[in-house]
Amino acid sequence: MTTTSSEGPAPAGPDPVLEADTAEPAASVAPAVVRLRDVGLFYGEFRAVKGVSFDVPTHQITSIIGPSGSGKSTLLRSINRMNDLIAGTRMEGEILYHEENLYASYVDPVEVRRRIGMVFQKPNPFPKSIYDNVAFGPRLNGFKGDLDGLVEQSLRRAAIWDEVKDKLKQSGLTLSGGQQQRLCIARAIATDPEVILMDEPCSALDPRATLQIEQLMAEIKERYTIVIVTHNMQQAARASDRTVFLNMAEDRAGYIVEQGETAQIFTNPTHQMTEDYVSGRFG
Amino acid sequence: MTASAAPGGSLLRGSRRRRRNEAAVRGALFAAAALSILISVGIVLSLVFEAVSFLSQIELSQLVAPGWFPRRGMFSIATVVVGTLIVTVIAMTIAAPVGLGSAIYLSEYATPRVRGIVKPILEILAGIPSVVLGFFALTWISPNIVQNLFPEAKGFSLMAAGIGVGVLTIPLVASISEDAMRAVPNALREASYGLGSRRLTTSVRVIVPAAISGIVAALILATSRAIGETMVVALAAGASGGSLFTVDPLGPGQTLTAAMASLAAGSDQVAGANAAFQSLFFLGLLLFLMTLVLNVIADTFVRRTRQKY
Amino acid sequence: MNAPSAVLGSRDRSVRRDGIDIRGLLFAGFLLLALLFSLAILTVLVGSQVVQGFPVFAERGIDFLTSDLASNPANAGVAQGIVGTALLVVVVAVLAFPVGIMTALYLEEYAGDTALARFININVRNLAGVPSVVYGILGLAVFVTLLAVLGDGDGKTILSGGLTLAVLVLPLVIITSAEAIRAVPDALREAGFGLGGSRWQVIRQLILPAAAPGILTGTVLALSRAIGETAVLILVGAVLGSFSTNGSLGALLTGPYTALPAIVFDWARKPGPAFQADTSAAIIVLLAITILANAMAVVLRNRYERKW
């Protein structure tokens, strides 16, 4: 754990929770929804991520940046237990959601994913109508109520209502890439999650659609807490409140080099490696 | 992974009903999958039990007889095995070149439009019931082809049956080896054409060697299919009561499968626990083992192709 | 085959066509011939059956389809065969499809890459290669015996025939369904799970609808295989049977039975041109059904091929 910055709130120790409370920088007073404590992730024998600890403050956007192969996506997917679906993955450490360990034996991953939603790298609407795409999650939950209203509300919050309100019966696949991704955000919103994980949501989109998504994120963070993985440093700098910078160690496992307020990470990083990365000198 | 108890009323626990339903679905699906194993066990057991019972009832010398006449206690294995081999060799002599030629044409020469027309035709040929091909072999191939080429040939002949079986296995050879050739990466093709090779050279020297595992698998599978084919032989090879040992492809003969069919359905239909009836299971066991070995070999070839690309 | 131009041509610096590539032409000719061979056989086969069988229809019309089996070829018809084949198809569809699709779902969505799953996979592939006549033996040893013990007849009923055919086509249903399920993109699964779908919800609402065309194609092909299958029926006793005429459903299911391909086999072995013509006429009926089924499968597959 010697590689973890002392600047971060939680260098993994024997009693991480206690230490996290004391070491928390004054800037992030917002309470944390999700806390990662000394998380290590494995694909079979290969260690993809080691010793990662950070807090996700509520109603903020936390971005995870770092070169490819540093385990950003794997880390993100561990937060709503999507990694469970890949055979041979293993997790050590703790991920706490409102101080409850998500990996406790009694926890049902399905319940986790209903509270911690996900938007993927490539827009992946279902081959169903726009309406049915948004209504999918609520229907899974046995939603009894004004489904039409919920669909409209979700599409409005995802800033796509005006573009699709006249063609709700059309297939979601007929939309443009940017529209598809906003539809996927609407679909995630419709299940009313507390946290939304976004795995490089703009990497398949053009600059204009990217900007729209970023604006959308800024609007919905009033209601939701967002964690975003991005390759795009400008995006992290523009859109996020906090930034976690991962890099690959010599054994190719990802670890946290530095974390903190986004402004600080980008303008006044503590580590030379961070400065090199955010100024585009590697990665 | 901490094995802690749930705090009272944790929402993350999920509904017990859903967990139970999920487990029930998983159990039902597993039961279905396990059924396929049960079927294999059933096949092996039903073959082995009766075959052993058959062998215990007869003198082993009865297996070496001048011919296969189950009602007279003559169970010459050589007769039916050699008959099967003759039919199989004739079938593969037809199916291998025709099937491979079609595959190379479809994979390397044909335009998408020609493929669009020809592939469905091969699929229709593959879907023709074997009993239909058997009747065709007996009433058309035998007089119009076999007896035309060899005037001394009989109306029922291993030759006519073999040609019929060959026609039946052409689509199998063609489709599996075409799949193998189309799986060869285009880069290899372009490299060959880039060196100034012609289509012939590219096909024969580059594509066929690269796809050889799949092609071999196709030929082995077709051989296995030919050995196990029943109706064509039962109708066109004649010799429904039995047959003396023969190596003459132009006359009637007996194969493993045809002997089984005639035991079960022929005028010499025999039932009950006598040796003649149980020889059916003995033949079945032989056939099962022969085709199993071939299928396992073919499977290793198929997997080798999959690994490569 | 040894044209010198093709051998020397490669050293030539000219970009002009150096003569005609005889070997290449011969090879292309051989390939085309191979292809035409199948085409010709198919044409002759169908043509010869139509020529021989058409007079039966011309003379008797629909009567051939509605008449029962008879020893006089002028009166014999395939009605019982059509009913028998239809009943067999129902038994196969009811038994083999659910079990086959369930097995495919287990292998693709639940089992992962465990030793057990690999074993089941290998087992299914080997079952697919077992000759049908061996399945007939299984039917004879297991289903016929079982039904004889349970019922009062000799067990050679449409149920034992249908059960055996269902077992015969099961590997085909499993393999084609598994392929269709595997072709469903992972993005769809991830989206479903990401929204909090349980495994069964994701399967029911996303994977099965997406894989449905492929699964349907496989099941139609399996049915077509079952319709034309003869060897199995001979072993489990369809050949010499016919339906009892006082047709209560119970009598239909527990009595002797026959099916279209079994009738073709039986008539094909009868001497005389009259039964030969009847055989061809029965073949036309059988071919019409199987080719229709196959064509349906091909159309289905082409229409839904690769949406992703």
- The CATH number of whichever domain residue B186 belongs to comes to 1.10.3720.10
Q: Does C298 reside within a domain?
A: yes
Would you call B267 an interface residue with chain A, using a CB distance cutoff of 8 Å? no
- Check: CB of residue B175 under 8 Å from CB of residue B102: no
- What is the dihedral angle through the alpha carbons of A170, A175, A180, A183, rounded to the nearest 10 degrees? -40
**Does residue B149 share a domain with residue B25?**
no
Continuous segment of H or E residues that includes residue C251:
helix C249-254
- Of C274, C239, C271, whose CA–CA distance to C257 is shortest? C239
> Model confidence over A112-146: pLDDT tens digits?
999 999 999 999 999 999 999 999 999 998 888 99
Contact C18, C9 (CB under 8 A): yes
Q: Which amino acid is at C233?
A: L
Helix, strand or coil, per DSSP, at residue B146 = helix
User: For residue B256, what are the domain limits?
Assistant: 62-305
pLDDT beyond 50 at A203: yes
Please report whether residue C101 resides in a domain. yes
Beta-carbon separation of B19 and A100 below 8 A: no
> Does the CB of B16 have a partner CB in chain C at under 8 Å?
no
Q: What SS3 state is found at B111? A: coil
Question: Are B146 and B227 members of one domain?
Answer: yes
**Does pLDDT of B287 surpass 80?**
yes
Distance in angstroms (rounded) separating the CA atoms of residues C244 and B223: 41
In a domain, C87, yes or no: yes
Does residue B82 sit in the same domain as residue B147?
yes
pLDDT at A20: 41
Cβ contacts (< 8 Å) between B291 and chain C: which residues? 129-131, 134
Is C235 part of any domain?
Answer: yes
Q: Residue B103 pLDDT > 60, yes or no?
A: yes
**Given CB atoms, is B288 within the 8 Å cutoff of chain C?**
yes
What is the structure's pLDDT at C8? 47
| CATH code for position C218 | 1.10.3720.10
Average pLDDT over residues C26-36: 92
Residues near B88 by Cβ (< 8 Å), separated by ≥ 6?
A: B162, B165, B223, B226, B227
Burial class of B39 by CB neighbour count within 10 A (0 to 12, 13 to 18, 19+): buried
pLDDT, residue B289, reads: 94
Residue C85 covered by a domain? yes
pLDDT of residue C243: 58
Residues of A with CB under 8 A from a CB of C: 80, 82, 85, 87, 110-111, 113-115, 117-120, 122, 124-127, 136-137, 140-141, 184, 187-188, 191
Q: What is the C-alpha separation between A172 and A175, in angstroms, rounded?
A: 6
Pick B101's closest partner by Cβ from C34, C127, C261: C34
Sign of CA dihedral B105, B111, B113, B116: positive
Say if residue B42 is in the same domain as residue B75.
Answer: no
Q: Are residues B33 and B98 in the same domain?
A: no
CA distance A246 to A51: 11
For residue B231, being part of any structural domain is answered with yes
Assess contact for A180 and A186: CB atoms under 8 A: no
C137 to B33: CB separation less than 8 angstroms, yes or no: no
State residue A6's pLDDT score.
40
Q: What is the mean pLDDT of the segment spanning A258-269?
A: 93
pLDDT of B75 reads: 87
Nearest to C265 by CA among C241, C295, C299: C241
User: pLDDT grade, residue A52 (50/70/90)?
Assistant: very high
Q: For residue C260, what are the domain limits?
A: 75-304
In a domain, C12, yes or no: no
Domain presence at residue B119: yes
Residue C219 vs residue C244, higher pLDDT: C219
Residue of A nearest to C111 (CA): A87
Do B242 and B121 reside in the same domain of the chain?
A: yes
- C-alpha B90/C-alpha A34 separation (Å) is 72
Q: Do C188 and A126 touch (CB under 8 A)?
A: yes
- CB contact at 8 A, B103 and B204: no
Contact list, A92 vs chain B (CB under 8 Å): 1
CA–CA dist A171, A133 (Å, integer) = 9
Q: How far apart are CA B224 and CA B34, in angstroms?
A: 26
Asked whether residue B170 falls in the same domain as residue B99, the answer is yes
**Domain match, B111 and B205 both:** yes
Task: Band the pLDDT of B7: cuts 50, 70, 90.
Answer: low
* Mutation choice for C interface testing from B118, B135, B208 by most C CBs within 10 A: B135
Enumerate residues 175 to 204 of chain B having a beta carbon within 8 A of any beta carbon in chain C: 196, 198-200, 203-204
C56 inside domain: no
Q: Which residues contact B257 (CB under 8 A, 6 or more apart)?
A: B84, B227, B228, B229, B230, B233, B234, B287, C131, C133, C231
From A280, A275, A276, A255, select the one nearest A265 (Cα to Cα).
A275
Distance in Å, alpha carbon of A253 to nearest chain C alpha carbon: 24
Q: What confidence category does residue B84 fall into, taking pLDDT thresholds of 50, 70 and 90?
A: very high
B14 in contact with chain A, both atoms CB, cutoff 8 A = yes
Q: What percent of chain B has pLDDT over 70?
A: 92
Residue C227 contacts residue C291 (beta carbons within 8 Å) = no
The pLDDT, as a whole number, for residue C64 is: 87
Q: A91 pairs with which residues across the strands?
A: A41
pLDDT tens digits, one per residue of C98-146: 999 999 999 999 987 788 888 999 999 999 999 999 999 899 888 888 8
* Pair B114, B188 in one domain: yes
Q: Examine the domain organization and report whether B157 and B102 are in the same domain.
A: yes
Mean pLDDT over residues B149-177, rounded? 93
A80 C-beta neighbours (distance < 10 Å), count: 28
What percent of chain B clears pLDDT 90, i.e. is strictly above it? 47
Residue with tokens 């293993």: A90
- Is C214 within 8 Å of C177 (Cβ atoms)? yes
Q: How many domains does chain B have?
A: 2
Per-residue pLDDT at B10: 74
Q: Are B71 and B276 in contact (CB under 8 A)?
A: yes
Query: How would you classify the pairing of strands A116-119 and A195-199?
Result: parallel
pLDDT at C308: 42
Closest Cα to residue C234, out of C126, C149, C108, C134?
A: C134
The number of residues in chain A equals 283
Give the per-residue pLDDT at C248: 61
Q: Read off the tokens for C56.
A: 């039966």
Residues B215 and B72 occupy one common structural domain: yes
Q: Is residue C272 part of a domain?
A: yes
* Count of helices and strands (H, E) across chain C: 15, 0
Burial label, B66 (beta-carbon count in 10 A; 0-12, 13-18, 19+): exposed
Q: Are B292 and B228 in contact (CB under 8 A)?
A: no
Residue B231 predicted with pLDDT over 70? yes
Work out how many domains chain C is built from and give that number: 1
Average pLDDT over residues A97-109: 93
Domain match, B252 and B123 both: yes
Q: Tell me which residues of chain B, numbers 107 to 166, contact chain A at a CB-CB cutoff of 8 Å.
A: none
Segment C240-268 mean pLDDT: 74
B:123-162 residues touching chain C, CB 8 A cutoff:
123-125, 127-136, 138-140
C9: confidence class by pLDDT, cuts 50, 70, 90: very low
CB of A256 closer than 8 Å to CB of A244: yes
